[in-house]
Amino acid sequence: MDLLIAYEQLSAPGLSRLLSSKRALPGPDWDLVRHSRERLWLLGRDADLAVASRGPDGEHAVVYAWQPRDRGLWRESWRSLLALESSPFRRGAPRAAVRLVAYAPHDGQLVLDQAKQRLDRFTAAFREELAAL
């Protein structure tokens, strides 16, 4: 299991570090196999669910990714356009990105389901900490 929690650096205006390839996939040498939106009921939020692979018969990964305190592309674009971060209406805390990865040794529905179950167990075990982000 991998856990990545990244916070936006407000000292670099106009540059969003949250749009990194590390947010969606385990790394640059991984290929996206499937992508969907899934509800994380324990956290009360939606997350991106992705399955990635490295090599034709190589390792696979199941990934949950979400952005707490992010209101979506359109709202964040309007916030930027109106320069709300430079006004009294700025955010109380910087935006964040969370990515959880469970690895699977090969492709196969059973192995990928087991990896997803590990993600769900991790989310349940650290529910309070993840919800507080």
pLDDT, tens digit (0-9, with 9 covering 90-100), for 74-83? 565 656 666 6
> Which strand (E) or helix (H) includes residue 74?
helix 73-81
Closest to 119 in 3D by CA, of 93, 133, 98: 98
* Beta-bridge partners for 38: 47
Domain interval for residue 19: 2-131
Confirm if 63 and 110 have CB atoms less than 8 A apart.
no
Burial label for 102, CB within 10 Å (0-12, 13-18, 19+), is buried
- Res 29 pLDDT > 60: yes
CA 63 from chain center: how many Å? 8
pTM: 0.74
* 89 or 26, which is more confident: 26
Q: Sorting pLDDT into bands at 50, 70 and 90, what band is 50? A: very high
- Res 14 pLDDT > 60: no
How many domains would you assign to the chain? Answer: 1
